[in-house]
Amino acid sequence: MERYYAERLAQFGATPRGVDWNSAESQELRFNRLLSALVEEHDAAETSILDYGCGYGALLDVLRTRNSIAWYQGFDISNAMIEAARTRHDGDARAVFTTDLSALPRAHYTLASGVFNVRLRHTVADWQDYVMETLATIDARSTRAFAFNMLSTYSDVERRRDDLFYMDALAMFDACKRRFSPRVALLHDYPLYEFTMIVRK
C-alpha cells in the first residue's frame, strides 16, 4: 500500500490524483461530507482533529480556510506523503504530520478519506477484517466522533475495479451501531459511488 501511494505521488505530485482521486471537485465533496461530523457548538479554538490517511495534507487547507479547528494531526503510512505534507504546510505550528500513530495523542475527531478503497491483491475477507480493525483503532483515538467514507456496493457493477473494495452501506451502518455507538449517521445522498459514515460518541 505504501508503494502504491508513493508511486501515485511521484507520478502526479501533491494533487488529488496524487492520492488517487479523480478531481479536486470530488476530493472537496468528500471532505465536506466528512466535516459534517464536527459539531459547531464546540469551541474551534480548542478542537483537535486526526486526519487518518492524510496524504499530502489537503484537508488541512480546507480546515484552515474555515477556521474549523485549532490542532491538526496528520497520519499516513507513506513516508513520501508525510514529507510532501510537511513541505506543503511548513510553518503551521498547530499541525503535525507523522507515520507513527502511537506518537499522537487522542483527538476530538478523526476523519478518514479513501483509506479503505484500494485493496490491491488482498482478499475481500482479509480486507473486511482490516477495515474493522482500523475502525476500532480510530474509535479508540477519537473522543467526540469519527467519520470515514467507502466505495458502495450500490455502484454500477460494470464500473467496478477488481483492485478496489466495495462495501454494503447498510451492513457497515449495522456494524458501527453494534460495535461503536448507537449514534451513527449514513450519508449516501451525494453524486459519488460511495457513502460516508459518521459515528458519534
> What pLDDT, in 10s, does the model give residues 99-132?
999 999 999 999 999 999 999 889 999 999 999 9
pLDDT at 88: 93
Residue range 65-110, pLDDT digits in tens: 887 788 999 999 999 999 999 999 998 999 999 999 999 999 999 9
For residue 87, the cross-strand partners are none
Q: How far apart are CA 105 and CA 123, in angstroms?
A: 32
Q: pTM here?
A: 0.90
Residue range 29-44, pLDDT digits in tens: 999 999 999 976 666 7
pLDDT at 67: 78
Type of residue found at 16: P
What's the start-to-end Cα distance of the chain, in Å? 30
Cβ–Cβ under 8 Å, residues 144 and 39: yes
Scan for cell 464500473, then name that residue: 159
Domains in the chain with CATH codes: 2-200 (3.40.50.150)
Q: How far apart are CA 56 and CA 86, in angstroms?
A: 8
pLDDT at 6: 66
Residue range 169-192, pLDDT digits in tens: 999 999 999 999 999 999 999 999
